[in-house]
Amino acid sequence: MPDHDVIIVGARVAGAATAMLLARQGLRVLLVDRDRYGTDTLSTHALMRGGVFLLSRWGVLDRVTEAGTPPIRRTRFDFGTDAVSIDIKPAHDVDALYAPRRTLLDRALVDAAEAAGAEIRYGLSVTGLLRDGSGRIVGIRGRDRAGAALTARARLTVGADGTRSIVGREAGATTLRTGTGSGAIVYGYWSELRADGYEWFYRPGSSAGIIPTNDGEACVFAGVPAHRLDRGDLRATYHHLLAVTTGGAEGRLAQARPPSRLRTWVGRPGYIRQSHGPGWALVGDAGSFLDPLSTHGITDALRDAEILARCLTRAGTFDNLGDYAAARARATSATFDVVDRIAGYGWDLPQLRTRLLELSSAMSTELELVTKC
């Protein structure tokens, strides 16, 4: 008998949500991460409707709202020549969006996983996978912070270990799609910045966003095609891009307190990897990645957790994950191409508007999928 039903590598949005859902079904779950509890990670953390819906369905949204995360009731698209504001219409139990800091959201999901009975180990770096005689994945090899080697066995090993997934690599997951577009992002946290919901700014060759979050701050990002990011004087680049792309946001940026620290994402093209194989599955960024300009990765990670957990319950076995692959393929095929085109910045503004409408429709398809799941 293996020690666990499921081992999950990576304890952030994808892994913690998967652990919570499977532990709630009574499975023996081990959730491991090489990092520490409650740390931040590179992300502008704006949730879309599907993500908020799932947090609400799982009873985790209260933790986000009780922490004072501001509700987002409007999204504004600024194209320079004109702007369009869209109210968040109440639907599927969602009447507002949220952009909780990852130090809050990831903790809330890990705490919920622990409350459901999952065993959690931080400071454990997975270095490889165990296989049985037939080649099936049957667990993990790893090292703790003191350097001690250990192994753990499970009927299913889930990679929720991000873009460089060791689970995907060691299991031999093939890459099914690779994108061509790739944007870089520089962001930081502003205080005293007046913002009315999510604000997205688009100009030919650049983008920006204002995302209200916890502690009275707003995450403000500037984006360019990855090959055009000038990292020489990052602060100057950031403020120049914001000036060019937002026009100063009607003077609001000048009145606000800029960030003391900037974070940079240098970009990488999107991909979709094989979702599962004998004894293993991938969720979140480990399995598929959309350019951050989509502000969609967390929602997709939570979606994967939901459809994998539902599929395992329905199948009643760890050997038939075909439904998981099919549901994930339906969701990702809707968003992948359109996000890739937006991330490539090869658009003029009329073309971008068409792409944004396509993205909105793709997100509705994904939402339908998770609400009916």
Task: Give contact residues for ligand FAD (rule: CB under 6 A).
Answer: 9-15, 32-35, 41-46, 125-126, 160-162, 166, 185, 265, 284-286, 292, 295-299, 301
What's the closest the beta carbon of residue 345 comes to ligand FAD, in angstroms?
16
What's the closest the beta carbon of residue 145 comes to ligand FAD, in angstroms?
12
Cβ proximity to ligand FAD: between 188 and 284 the closer is 284
What's the closest the beta carbon of residue 316 comes to ligand FAD, in angstroms?
26
Q: Which helix (H) or strand (E) holds 366?
A: helix 349-372
What's the closest the beta carbon of residue 350 comes to ligand FAD, in angstroms?
25
- The two beta strands, 4-9 and 29-33, are parallel
Cβ proximity to ligand FAD: between 38 and 319 the closer is 38
What's the closest the beta carbon of residue 30 comes to ligand FAD, in angstroms?
12
Kindly write down the DSSP assignment for every residue of 312-353, as one continuous string: HHHH-SSS--HHHHHHHHHHHHHHHHHHHHHHTT---HHHHH
Q: Which amino acid is at 214?
A: N
Q: Is 156 helix (H, G, I), strand (E, B) or coil?
A: strand
Token digits for 240?
Answer: 């120049």
Q: Which amino acid is at 217?
A: E
Torsion 114-27-310-278 (CA) sign: positive
Strand partners, 85: 76
Cβ proximity to ligand FAD: between 41 and 151 the closer is 41
First to last CA, the chain: 31
Q: Which amino acid is at 260?
A: S
76 CB-near residues (< 8 Å, 6+ apart) = 83, 84, 85, 86, 196, 197, 198, 199, 200
Cβ proximity to ligand FAD: between 156 and 166 the closer is 166
Cβ proximity to ligand FAD: between 96 and 317 the closer is 96
What's the closest the beta carbon of residue 133 comes to ligand FAD, in angstroms?
25
Cβ proximity to ligand FAD: between 32 and 108 the closer is 32
